Amino acid sequence: MHFRLGSLNPVKKEALFQALEESGRFPNIRIHALSLPSGVPDQPIGLESTLTGARNRARAAWSPEVFFGVGIESGLVEVPLTRTGYMNLTACVLFDGKNFFTGLGPAFELPGEITRRVVEEGMELDAAVQAAGFSANPRIGYSEGLIGILTRNVVTRLIYTKPAVHMALAALPEAEKPGENPGF
């Protein structure tokens, strides 16, 4: 089955592949990754902006030749009762040409210095991580991610991204009737 991902990020592509494979619902998985605009800032802030970015990428990735267009977007969302007021989360949206299926992954709080640089200075997360001295890697989001640094690779960006894909897959109509339709 052919899927098209609206990002060239290799971590997002691998997370999508692994989640699809783990679901056991999709034979012969092929993923074509494209650089597609999200229509939101490079570093989305807010749940609506993060979801909009994922939806826009999924819509742009879809064509009649693919099973789903897929958008995966990470963003900072306001969360009350946290130290900084924000947490990072990942959204995945699947689009079949007519319907959107949305899933959210886990969230984690960024160090205050990084949150400040993103929220107040408008920096993209990779640049904020580098500027705050957490990594010299200018594209940390293409490797272990900030979550990998903070957890000493117990949780990497790949591991962190997969739950959002699984949650989007759980939103598919076939998931609502277990046992009736084991696949597509």
Q: Which of 65-74, 110-119, 145-154, 173-182 has the lowest mean pLDDT?
A: 173-182
Mean pLDDT calculated for residue range 56-73: 97
DSSP for residue 105? E
Ranges of beta strands (E only) in the chain are 2-5, 30-33, 68-78, 86-95, 100-108
89 is written with which tokens? 């989360």
pTM: 0.93
DSSP symbols for 139-160: TGGGTTHHHHHHTTTSS-HHHH
What domains lie within the chain, and their CATH numbers? Answer: 2-107+157-176 (3.90.950.10)
**pLDDT higher than 60, residue 31:** yes
pLDDT at residue 153, rounded to an integer = 97
Tens-digit pLDDT profile for residues 128-160: 999 999 999 999 999 999 999 999 999 999 999
